[in-house]
Structure 1
Amino acid sequence: MLSERGAAPALLVAGTTSDAGKSVVTAGLCRWLARQGVRVAPFKAQNMSLNSVVTPDGAEIGRAQAMQAAACGIEPTAAMNPVLLKPGSDRSSQVVVRGRPVGEADALTYRSYKERLREVSLEALAELRASHDVVLCEGAGSPAEINLRAGDIANMGLARAADLPVLVVGDIDRGGVFAALHGTLALLEPADQALVAGFVVNKFRGARELLEPGLDMIRSLTGRDVYGVLPWLDGLWLDVEDSLALSVDRGPSRPPLGSQTLRVAVVRLPRISNFTDIDALTVEPGVDVRFVTAPHEVADADLVILPGSRATVADLAWLRERGLADALVERAGRGLPLLGICGGYQMLARGIDDEVESRAGRVEGLGLLPTRVDFAVEKTLGRPVGTAYGNPVRAYEIHHGVVHVDPSADTEPFLDGHRLGAVWGTTWHGALENDGFRRAFLREVAARAGRDFACAPDTDFAAERSRRLDALGDLVEEHMDTAALLRLLEDGAPGGMPVVPPGGP
């Protein structure tokens, strides 16, 4: 399947807003095509996310693209997300290019990167189009962010440069989907509008016959077709891209096997990263997972998790300001379980020396583990393997902080980290996705918390993830015009599309 230019067909999935469903729709399209034997790959030119993963070739990319690669049945690579921005504050982000950090930039200094990043992104897309049958590209935010259009490399800037047809996804559950679809198109300049082939309505619930008049009107007003209306289905997407989609309560989907629920409180840090570490707990029967921000919310939890952070020192200060630091120390004093992962593990130390991320120098930690942390300039990226509780563990690590344990301390090893009493710490992300390890860890947590809780013996997280990806592929097959999608891929960007002025036709 080659375009006239000799490259594989490609399509851009844009959205009216962040969290409109671009990642989900792209993953569904990937799964649908892969099940037909098409060699398909995902692509996102520029991603802003604190949820990332390490690929087999040692690159850091957005977590959503890794899961889209899983939907395609292939391993993720650096080319699938050549530019990753990891916010460390409201004004600056770490810039990761081809899987490696190249520096920090704010909104103004980032402009100096733009031309280079545009070339990197187009090269990566060309690489994927040369080695696959189809490439499905995901946009970022909205293509109608007109203040950013001049330097855009992720939305219409990419579509124009690579001559990609564009589908715009709108979230009807938020309300105002027709205004969002029409307004997005109308704000684009004519040359950009020419590439927009049509729309996808996402998260619909209700009577389809009541929606039809609106679909007819949007077709008439814009001259574009609606390629599908995807129904609302709860709990389909793991590995969300950012905290906009982070549920406060991700409680048990099935009742516990024992007489009690195991209550897990995950501290929702301001710069929380890789909170997808918690996904495996949310599919365990009887495990009630809640994201919390106040001291009283951790008081009765059986397990508290301090997750990863892109701003360890700043988020540690936030813990103290909120009174959560004292609450965690008090819990540990009572022997109640606490798990720190990556940045959360660093916060458990006696001291942190950071001249890299926050440049705050020496900072006092929570003192719950006999460790100290030094921030290194070089970022550690890896896919380690190990054992814990007699079970194999595969994981990944992404961190600047290097943890050193006091050699005189009486601690036990835990994955790559340490354990002291009911306090565990590790830099490894994804460890809880290993079924045997997860069950063994939860059994010990339950015993220490005095809970009559029995883990399900057959929970298979990898199978559950695959099942959800299959469900996304089913949504595409059942609720989208797949024949029209195939024509769009074969024929490329549509010609002669009408221009929609900002004031309407």
Structure 2
Amino acid sequence: MRGALLVGGATSDAGKSMIVTGLCRVLARRGVRVAPFKAQNMSNNSAITPDGGEIGRAQALQAFACGLEPSTRFNPVLLKPGSDRRSHVVVRGKPDGQIAAADYASRRAQLLDVVTDELASLREDFDVVICEGAGSIAEINLRGSDIANMGLARAAAMPVVVVSDIDRGGSLAHLFGTTAVLGAADQRLVAGYLINKFRGDPGLLAPGLDQVRELTGRPTFGVVPYASGIWIDAEDSLSVSVGRRVGPVDDDGRQVRLGVAAIRLPRISNSTDVEALACEPGVDVTWVDDASAVAAADIVILPGTRATVSDLAWLRSRGIDGALRTRAERGRPIIGICGGFQMLARTISDDVESGIGRVEGLGLLDMSIRFDADKITRQVTGQASTSVGRVPIRGYEIHHGRVDHGTDDPWITQGEDLIGEGAVRGAVRGTHWHGLLENDAFRRDVLAALAAEAGKPDFAVCTDTSVAAIRTAQVDLIADLLTAHVDLDALFGLIDAGAPASASIITHSLIH
């Protein structure tokens, strides 16, 4: 098998990332040399490659499903929103300035060569490349400068499968309308459809799929059922909704449970940091945005953000700063990660990200933060002291901020020279390291300390939870779902055959 396939969406958040992850895993388990690809991603949930490049977190998970290390080749263009109208641009893993939304159309035309060259290179090195589109493939107002959906499919002569989330309603209309609004040349590349998150009796849906085939001339390759156990790294921080429980909900009958409140900052980044805690039995993690929830929780996570100073002002406007100070005074645990760590400082000097200059931080840690124009992006390793001795740890950094440490103890030590990283003052902890809580032995030790500080010393920490094993089980679960509910032979036949030689063209005369 050799070729490529683009998995596009009828809407944003239709399940493209999940489908690509599952297809990559199915092919890898069959011994096919497969790689993921997303030409352009807009996300503040990012990962760091071994060489220090930055890519979308979803593409790092897809690489994991393929048995590969993350690489900038899999996501050559990454946009990180800093405000509603401006984004930071990352090209081939490295910062490449900022751009306003209105100006990006001209910039995308220049980036088309970047993404098509990278895709062509991957197709030479791998048997199959499974590409993920961005948003909806029917954003016709952006079609002229598109480099991630039909523009990419046309440039690379790839067949396209469109995914629709039926749980939201209107799925059949989405499939028809998405295809119908495309130009004829784009329509010819649309080979068929996938329905995602279906609940109920497939027999009731079948007549609708038959009618969609009559109207469009295209088959539905599968109906993937809704599965509550599916839990993968979120690509878009906007999908992190207030009140949403993080991770699978377990009810193991424990009498003592820990409630974790993760503050849903407006420009949250790397929201996946909190998910390692949600892997633990008896730990309930929920996204919140109000002071009362922050006050009531056993543990509070102040996560990363793409706009530290602006989100700090938002936090103050909602009275959450006062709730955090009260927690600190009462010795109740708070963890700040990256931007959230920076907010805990005495002062923040930012002439880079916000351009505001010096502002007062929350003052819960004895340090100052200074933003530097050079961005730190790297994987990191180190050691940490735990109740069972020193244990190895690893993580990654993505930040402009530099720390001027004061009198607080470091949270972890880094490298052979044991340089301190992060800070601890009482029950307040902070670090620039993302992924720190994914280190199993370290997380268990921290969780035991947090439970005691929260007034729940009887909480029993699980001794065998493995985040890596849970992540492996998740990608295998997705692959198993697709194997059971998708016509993979037909889908993979598209990869071998390439773009359809001929396909039905929907004209407006079909719409009465």
Q: TM-score, normalised by structure 2?
A: 0.95
- The residue aligned with 2:473 is 467
CA contact (8 A) 1:24 1:237 kept: no
- The residue aligned with 2:455 is 450
CA contact (8 A) 2:228 2:248 kept: no
In 1, the alpha carbon distance for the partners of 2:485 and 2:251 equals 32
CA offset digits 1:315-366 (Å, max 9, x no partner): 0000000000111111111111100000000000010111111000011100
Q: Which residue, out of 403, 411, 422, partners 2:409?
A: 411
Does the alignment pair 1:107 with 2:107? no
- The residue aligned with 2:187 is 193
- The residue aligned with 2:430 is 425
CA offset digits 1:121-178 (Å, max 9, x no partner): 0111111111100000000000101110000000000000000000000000000000
CA offset digits 1:200-232 (Å, max 9, x no partner): 000001001101000100011000011110000
User: Alpha carbons of 1:90 and 1:74: their partners in 2 closer, same or farther (altered >3 Å)?
Assistant: same
CA offset digits 1:383-416 (Å, max 9, x no partner): 111122232211011011111112xx24344352
Q: TM-score, normalised by structure 1?
A: 0.96
Residue 439 of structure 1 aligns with an amino acid whose one-letter code is: R
- The residue aligned with 1:298 is 294
Residue 18 of structure 2 aligns with an amino acid whose one-letter code is: V
Aligned-pair Cα RMSD in Å? 1.3
Q: Which residue, out of 262, 265, 269, partners 1:266?
A: 262
Residue 84 of structure 1 aligns with an amino acid whose one-letter code is: L
- The residue aligned with 2:416 is none
CA contact (8 A) 2:365 2:408 kept: no
CA contact (8 A) 2:246 2:275 kept: no
- The residue aligned with 1:387 is 383
- The residue aligned with 1:6 is none
- The residue aligned with 1:5 is none
Matches of residues 91-490 of structure 1 in structure 2 within 5 Å?
Answer: 91-246=85-240, 248-250=244-246, 253-255=249-251, 259-388=255-384, 389=386, 390-406=390-406, 409-414=407-412, 416-451=421-456, 452-490=458-496
CA contact (8 A) 2:229 2:248 kept: no
Tell me, which stretches of 5 or more residues in structure 1 are unaligned?
3-8
- The residue aligned with 1:61 is 55
In the TM superposition, residue 250 of structure 1 has moved relative to its aligned partner by 2.8
In 1, the alpha carbon distance for the partners of 2:98 and 2:49 equals 22
In 2, the alpha carbon distance for the partners of 1:502 and 1:345 equals 55
CA offset digits 1:50-95 (Å, max 9, x no partner): 1000011211000000000011111111010000000000000000
CA contact (8 A) 1:355 1:361 kept: yes
In 2, the alpha carbon distance for the partners of 1:430 and 1:484 equals 38
In 2, the alpha carbon distance for the partners of 1:441 and 1:234 equals 28
In the TM superposition, residue 252 of structure 1 has moved relative to its aligned partner by 6.6
Identity of aligned residues (%): 58
Does the alignment pair 1:50 with 2:48? no
In the TM superposition, residue 251 of structure 1 has moved relative to its aligned partner by 7.0
The count of residues paired between Structure 1 and Structure 2 equals 497
CA contact (8 A) 1:256 1:454 kept: no
In 2, the alpha carbon distance for the partners of 1:272 and 1:380 equals 18
User: Alpha carbons of 1:155 and 1:338: their partners in 2 closer, same or farther (altered >3 Å)?
Assistant: same
Residue 238 of structure 1 aligns with an amino acid whose one-letter code is: I
Residue 306 of structure 1 aligns with an amino acid whose one-letter code is: L
In 2, the alpha carbon distance for the partners of 1:23 and 1:410 equals 41
In the TM superposition, residue 27 of structure 1 has moved relative to its aligned partner by 0.5
In 2, the alpha carbon distance for the partners of 1:235 and 1:327 equals 33
Residue 372 of structure 1 aligns with an amino acid whose one-letter code is: S
In the TM superposition, residue 475 of structure 1 has moved relative to its aligned partner by 1.3
In the TM superposition, residue 110 of structure 1 has moved relative to its aligned partner by 1.9
Greater displacement, 62-71 / 410-419: 410-419
CA contact (8 A) 2:48 2:377 kept: yes
In the TM superposition, residue 253 of structure 1 has moved relative to its aligned partner by 3.1
- The residue aligned with 2:500 is 494
